[in-house]
Structure 1
Amino acid sequence: MTTTDYASLLIDAGDYAGRDDVAHLFPRFLALAELKFNRVMRTAGMEKTTAVPLAEGEGSLPPDFLEARQVLAADGRALRALPLQELSSHGTAAGAPIGYAIIGSAIEVRPKGGDNIHLTYYAKIPPLTAEAPSNWLIEKAPDIYLYALVEEIAVWERDVSKAGAAEALKRQAMAGLGLADERLRWGNAEVVIGGLTP
C-alpha cells in the first residue's frame, strides 16, 4: 500500500474504486468519512489535554472537543460527570468543585469557582486537506482512510455491493486499530479484582 498522505490517498482510492473521474468530489468524500470516524472512533491518538479557564464555574470547550476522558480540579482531584439536575443543585454552594456537566460547547463546574480545570479529551481527527496532507490517523492506519473513501465513492455510485464490501474492510481495519490501541494502553496492566477477598 502506498497511501501516506492526501495526494496518495486520492490516487489509491480512485484505483481501488475503479474510478479516475472523481477527484473533484474527493474533498466531499473525505469530509463524510472523517465525520463518521469522529462519531465512533476513540483511540489514544485522539487524546489531548488542556487547561480550561473558568468564570463563575463555566468555561469554553476546545473547538475540536468530542468527549471528555478526564476532568481534574486545579488541585488535581478528579471531578465526576453529573446529571444536569444534580449539578444545578450545587449552584449556590461554596467550596471546592465536585462535578461537571457538558452543556453545548461549554463545561460547567459546581460549586462555581474561577480556577482552571484540566481537561483530557478526545479531539476530532485533524481533517486531511491539500494544505494539511497528513495526520496521525493516515500515518498509523492508512487502510482505514482508503476503505472509507472507497465506501463513500460506492455510496455515491449507488453500488450497494461495493459499498458493503468496503464498509466491511473499513470496520475490520478500525477493529484492528482498536485492538492495537487497547494493547498500547493496557498491554502490561495488572488485573485487580475488586471487593472483599477471603
Structure 2
Amino acid sequence: MNFTELRSTVADWLHRSDLNGVLPTFIKLAESRINRDLRTEEMVKSVTGSVTDSTITLPDDFRQAKSVLVNGKPVVYASSLESKRYDVAGDAYFYTIVGNQINIRPKSTSADYELIYYASIEPLSDNKPTNWLLAKYPDVYLYAVLLESAPYIKDNEAAEVWAIAYGNAIRTVAEQDLVAKHGDAGLVIRGNSV
C-alpha cells in the first residue's frame, strides 16, 4: 500500500468520495497518534557529535531517548531540578531534556556523544508515498486514519470500532517487535550461588 492507495482505501471504507481535500489532514493526525503510541526497534536511530556548552541539540524527528552516551559511557536521566545539583564541571553522569536540548551534568567542556533515540515515523506525502510502517503494517495506518476521520464525519459508533481495531493493531506490532528482539530466548536470572 502507498499514500495514494491509503487515501483511496479510506474513502472506500467510509463510503465517501467527497473527502479528498481532508484525507491528507486525517493522515497527518493519524501519524501524530501513531508517533505517540508506538515504539519499535524500526523507529530507533543513532546520532553522534560533540557536546557544545554541555548541551546536545535534539534531532527534529526525536520522540524519546533510548540511551545517551558521553565519551563512550552511558549517562542516566535526571529531572531538571535534580540535575541542577550537579551544575559543576566534571565527567558526565546525568542528562536531562529541556525544550529541544539535552543538558549534560556535571558540565562537560569537551566531549563526544552518541544519542540513540526513537524517531518519528517518516510522514507520508505525494513525494514520499510509503514508509516502513505502511509497507509492513498497513492496518495500523488504515485504522488510525479511520479513527481520525470519525469526528469529521460524525460517526461515533464507527469511532469505537476503529479505536479497538487500531489498539489491537498497535499491540500486535509491539508484540511482534518484542519477539523480533528476543525470539524464543528464555529469561536468565542471575544471583549469588549458595
TM-score, structure 2 length as denominator? 0.94
Note the alpha carbon deviations across 1:87-143, whole angstroms, 9 max, x for none. 11221132x211111111000111222212100000111110111111111011001
- Secondary structure of the 1:12 match is helix
- Secondary structure of the 1:59 match is strand
- C-alpha root-mean-square deviation of aligned residues, in Å? 1.4
Q: How does 1:91-102 map to 2 (within 5 A)?
A: 91-94=87-90, 96-102=91-97
2:128 and 2:37 map into 1 onto residues whose CA distance is 23
Higher strand share: 2
Q: 2:102 aligns with which of 96, 107, 120?
A: 107
1:53 and 1:136 map into 2 onto residues whose CA distance is 30
1:106 and 1:51 map into 2 onto residues whose CA distance is 14
Note the alpha carbon deviations across 1:9-60, whole angstroms, 9 max, x for none. 0111111121121011011101111111111111111110001421121121
- Secondary structure of the 1:79 match is strand
Q: Which runs of 5+ in 2 are unaligned?
A: none
- CA shift in 2, pair 1:117/1:25, >3 Å: same
- Secondary structure of the 1:122 match is strand
Match of 2:133 in 1: 137
- Aligned-residue sequence identity (percent) comes to 32
The answer to whether the Cα contact below 8 Å between 1:52 and 1:60 also exists between their aligned partners in 2 is no
The answer to whether the Cα contact below 8 Å between 2:37 and 2:170 also exists between their aligned partners in 1 is no
Amino acid at match of 2:4: A
2:81 and 2:113 map into 1 onto residues whose CA distance is 21
2:122 and 2:77 map into 1 onto residues whose CA distance is 26
Match of 1:151 in 2: 147
The question of 1:17 aligning with 2:14 is answered yes
Match of 1:58 in 2: 55
Q: How does 1:1-198 map to 2 (within 5 A)?
A: 4-74=1-71, 76-94=72-90, 96-113=91-108, 114-198=110-194
Q: Which runs of 5+ in 1 are unaligned?
A: none
The answer to whether the Cα contact below 8 Å between 2:34 and 2:144 also exists between their aligned partners in 1 is no
How many residue pairs were aligned? 193
